Amino acid sequence: MFVAFGEIMMRVAPAGHLRLRQVMPGEVEVTFAGAEANVCASLANFGAPARFVTALPSNPLADAVIADLRGLGIDTRFMLRSAEGRLGIYFVETGANQRSSTVIYDRDHSAISLANTAEYDFNGALADAKWLHITGITPSLSERAYEATLAIVQLAKQRGIPVSCDLNFRKKLWRWRSGVAANLLARECMSEILKFVDLAIANEEDAADVLDIHAEGTNIEGGQINAAGYEQVARKMIAKFPNLSRVAFTLRESYSADHNNWGGLLFDRQSDRAYLAPLDANGAYRPYEIRDIVDRVGGGDSFGAGLMFALNQPGATDPQRALHFGVAASCLKHSIRGDFNFVTREEVEALVGGAASGRVRR
């Protein structure tokens, strides 16, 4: 059983590439979203058992959240229903060409930000777990949410359950300690959480923002990624947190809102080497070229889900194969509207095998 702990929200988005001021008042698209829930959705679509643990208010909106997750096959039995707090909301405008996508958060006083650690049944949630996944987003919401995240990773470590953590730094969050900059508060808190993590996942910016570890030869704003430089970042992370067995990065080269190159790196401590994907026929790194992005939100979550799924398959010993699967899963996510990645294991494996033309399947 894969278990994830974190916040799930209502996602509100205009149709297509419209801006909020163009459609409000009026019709918007409402779905549910959140980094940890996104991971569970991907795992469930791959056919893996997944359980999502969160805190939700006791109202019909939260009932709809639970029904949606159950419809995907996600176990929701250990969700905390609270009389205090609300369902968080985030608004997203999908960018185009040189206009970036934008996110507006409305998450203050959400149920998970107000819940105390003792209110959760973490013992029950982890009873049959083989893997725990958390991110750096939930502890950014409040001190209580940070304490709960730290508590569940400590419990998992006590039970010998591997833990993955996506750093997922959000500079608009981490505001719960007055007078402390967001990146410094994130660094303090995530450094404690990472002591109990086996697999750390990050994008091309997270290590710099959270841990002050930078990749040489990379210009994020200029869309220039030095993939090889992230091996050194991974080595520095493992030196700082010797409990880490693997470090993974998504590598996004952003040329515009519609055109990104996409790949990934996985550093494996046991073999003491870095793996890159995808690779060309000569074995050289060659990222996927994604030229007509439908929705990039959730791309990192689908990468993490694909990676942990592949690493936990019976007899899975090849980090290269696992990385190929994770990168292909996240590449396909860019074709799916909404946070959840509605692609199948078979579709991911087809892309790993080279079926990248997008031809109609009959």
- Domain ranges (residues) in the chain: 2-249
Instruction: Report the pLDDT value the prediction gives residue 260, as an integer from 0 to 100.
Output: 93
Instruction: Report the pLDDT value the prediction gives residue 221, as an integer from 0 to 100.
Output: 60
d(CA 151, CA 154): 5
Residue-level pLDDT, tens digit, the chain, 362 residues: 999 999 999 999 999 999 999 999 999 999 999 999 999 999 999 999 999 999 999 999 999 999 999 999 999 999 999 999 999 999 999 999 999 999 999 999 999 999 999 999 999 999 999 999 999 999 999 999 999 999 999 999 999 999 999 999 998 999 999 999 999 999 999 999 999 999 999 987 888 888 988 887 666 566 667 888 899 999 999 999 999 999 999 999 999 999 999 999 999 999 999 999 999 999 999 999 999 999 999 999 999 999 999 999 887 679 999 999 999 999 999 999 999 999 999 999 999 998 776 765 65
* 2-249 fold: UDP-N-acetylmuramoyl-L-alanine:D-glutamate ligase (3.40.1190)
Instruction: Report the pLDDT value the prediction gives residue 222, as an integer from 0 to 100.
Output: 61
Instruction: Report the pLDDT value the prediction gives residue 362, as an integer from 0 to 100.
Output: 59
Instruction: Report the pLDDT value the prediction gives residue 217, as an integer from 0 to 100.
Output: 67
Burial class (CB in 10 A: 0-12, 13-18, 19+), 336: middle
Give ∠ CA 286-289-292 in degrees, rounded to 5. Answer: 170
Instruction: Report the pLDDT value the prediction gives residue 206, as an integer from 0 to 100.
Output: 87
Dihedral of CA 358/359/360/362: which sign? negative
> Distance between the two ends of the chain, CA-based, in angstroms?
34
Q: Tell me the CA distances in angstroms from 105 to 91, 172, 184, 268, 271, one per residue in order.
A: 7, 8, 20, 35, 41
Q: Burial code of 258-293, b = ≥16 C-beta within 10 A, e = fewer?
A: bebbbbbbbbbbeeeebbbbbeeeeeebebbebeeb
Instruction: Report the pLDDT value the prediction gives residue 225, as an integer from 0 to 100.
Output: 72
